[in-house]
Structure 1
Amino acid sequence: MDYYFYSIIILSCGIFFDTLHSLYYYSKYYSDFGIFSIDFMFRKSNKDFYSKLFVFFKPLINNKTFCYLLILRLILSLLLIVFVENTYYLIFVVFVIQLLFNLRNRVALSGADQMRTIILFGLSIISINNNFFFEVGSFFIIIQLYISYFFTGYNKLKSPVWRNGNALIWVLNSNLFGNKIIQKKLIDQGQIFNIALCWGVILFQITFPLLASFSHTVVYVLIIGIIFHTSLAALCNLNDFFWSYLSSYPLVYFFSIKFNICDYLNIF
């Protein structure tokens, strides 16, 4: 269960900082005149499924009570960081709060929010504290991670902007993820360097499922993954991706070592 606890701690750190951010900017985001005001969100929802969900859960996610929900989320994440061995069963409550958080922030969700929700669901399964459910929950998380990496890399491979090396320069020029200083340095390095960098990202994401499945290569690809997500967090402010994706790494390592594909295939 140690790897499970490591995953909870890493993910809870991301939830803790994300909740602090939401509380700090609460009046800007969630007040009656905020950009995520419940009235605005309700108008943006469809007139079928989402409208019914909003009506049903509105007492929990309205502009006033949602603040208390965030405070509870903050407290639970802190408990899971400090006292994980005694409070790991609370992860299911955090998962439920995450679902309400997703509903409240529906128009502003990112891939990191989706991955966080997936991992929380898998960790909730593991919290049943049974070997069978540990393997089922871990396998679910790992498969979802592999799918995310592979198809993200595959979509980049299909993009001419990524293949010709201009993608990172364009990303760093955007208002949301921009970094003019790093962008200028990349331009100064020349086209060949940027092509190599873009193709490095593509190859890392596409080959991650394969390399992470072999015990002889898992450590190396996870180190590359840590460097990759740390760079994105530092340069593009993609902090949620850092915590969400890296929280799955302890389970990836555990499964790679336990179910050593190399032994079955008689390689290495």
Structure 2
Amino acid sequence: MILFNNISQIVLIILSVGLLISTLEYLKKVQIFSTKGLLSWNVMQLKWTKENQSPLLKPFFKLFSVPGLAMLFLIRCLLITGLLFFPLQSTVGWVLISLLGLSLLLASLVTHYGSDGSDQMSMLIIITLILCNMPALASNKLRDIGLWFIALQACLSYAVAGIAKLVSAEWRSGTAIKDVFSTKTYGSKKATLFLQKYPAANLFLCWNVIIMETIFPLCLFLPWPFALIFLVWGFIFHFFTAVIMGLNAFFWAFMATYPAIYFVNHQISWNLF
């Protein structure tokens, strides 16, 4: 059985780059958390107070002001920087990633309306790394289980997204990508004009995404040179999604799962062949 002891560390490093970028973005636009901002705690707290959430959360509510969140984001940057110097398997590294996970959980209370699949994937990876690297329980087998979970979750995410697109008439007819690029939030004027000029390209791109996402789990079982095609496709897909649509977080969150996919693919190949 193949054991790659540094795979978890590589996953964490890639994810940390994305978290650092998103945290710096929050610091730059921290005023959106002001009383007149889009994510004002005066509004965001209604989700928790109205639904009578656990009183254990209430002591943290005072944190969600502009100065409090700015401090939280600065601390997160320091935690991410610290993880570059302390291995995940060390006690200090585990404490740092645990505090990082706590900062993400706290911030999610006030950013839940602006969160997306990349936030969920990032949180899932962080929690998995925390649980599978606890100093008192950590073992190579437990770390392997964590990498399997991350890889399977990534493949499930792709497959579910692909199937959802497959049942969509807009995606099957080849208009979905052009329609998305035509929006103000995720749009691109140049991309829209290109797809309007070449409608066949839009049909090709739509079906390319549908097929590759739906069959993405095959990358776990195929010989590595063929599995690599899926990862290269995923890299290109997320890269251009980040450039054109501005969804930067998706790129780093899903790239962080690729070392785990590599690990699982090689373990399966080792046992099968």
Q: TM-score, normalised by structure 1?
A: 0.90
2:177–2:206 contact (8 Å) kept in structure 1 = yes
Q: Which residue of 2 aligns with 1:182?
A: 191
Q: Which residue of 1 aligns with 2:215?
A: 207
Q: Which residue of 2 aligns with 1:153?
A: 162
Paired with 2:235 and 2:249, the residues of 1 have a C-alpha distance of: 13
1:11–1:243 contact (8 Å) kept in structure 2 = yes
Q: Which residue of 1 aligns with 2:83?
A: 80
Paired with 2:9 and 2:267, the residues of 1 have a C-alpha distance of: 17
4+ residue segments displaced more than 6 Å = none
Q: Which residue of 2 aligns with 1:41?
A: 44
SS of the residue 1:105 aligns to: helix
* Shift in Å, 1:173: 0.6
Cα RMSD of the aligned pairs, angstroms, is 2.0
1:179–1:235 contact (8 Å) kept in structure 2 = yes
Paired with 1:164 and 1:88, the residues of 2 have a C-alpha distance of: 49
* Shift in Å, 1:102: 1.1
**One-letter code aligned to 1:255:** V
**One-letter code aligned to 1:177:** Y
* Shift in Å, 1:38: 1.4
- The answer as to 2:20 corresponding to 1:16 is yes
- Residues 206-241 of structure 1: per-residue CA shift (max 9 Å, x gap): 111122333332212111111110010111111000
- The answer as to 2:106 corresponding to 1:103 is no
Q: Which residue of 1 aligns with 2:178?
A: 169
Stretches of structure 1 that go unaligned for 5 or more consecutive residues are none
Moved more, 10-19 or 69-78: 69-78
1:13–1:81 contact (8 Å) kept in structure 2 = no
Paired with 1:8 and 1:224, the residues of 2 have a C-alpha distance of: 22
- Residues 8-48 of structure 1: per-residue CA shift (max 9 Å, x gap): 11100001010101011112x11232221211211344622
1:125–1:136 contact (8 Å) kept in structure 2 = no
Q: Pick from 238, 241, 248: which aligns with 1:232? A: 241
Q: Pick from 53, 69, 92: which aligns with 1:66? A: 69
Percent of aligned positions with the same letter in both sequences?
29
Stretches of structure 2 that go unaligned for 5 or more consecutive residues are none
- The answer as to 2:34 corresponding to 1:31 is yes
1:173–1:180 contact (8 Å) kept in structure 2 = yes
Moved more, 81-90 or 102-111: 81-90
Paired with 1:167 and 1:49, the residues of 2 have a C-alpha distance of: 40
SS of the residue 2:215 aligns to: helix
- The answer as to 2:60 corresponding to 1:57 is yes
Q: Which residue of 2 aligns with 1:124?
A: 130
Paired with 2:68 and 2:98, the residues of 1 have a C-alpha distance of: 20
SS of the residue 2:50 aligns to: coil
Moved more, 67-76 or 32-41: 32-41
**One-letter code aligned to 1:144:** Q
Q: Which has the higher contact order (CA 8 A, sep 6+)?
A: 2
1:88–1:127 contact (8 Å) kept in structure 2 = no
Paired with 1:250 and 1:60, the residues of 2 have a C-alpha distance of: 36
- Structure-2 change in CA distance of 1:66 and 1:246 (3 Å): same
Q: Which residue of 2 aligns with 1:193?
A: 201
1:31–1:37 contact (8 Å) kept in structure 2 = yes
* Shift in Å, 1:88: 3.5
**One-letter code aligned to 2:39:** F
Q: Counterparts of 1:132-147 in structure 2 under 5 Å?
A: 132-147=141-156
Aligned residues: 262
**One-letter code aligned to 2:109:** L
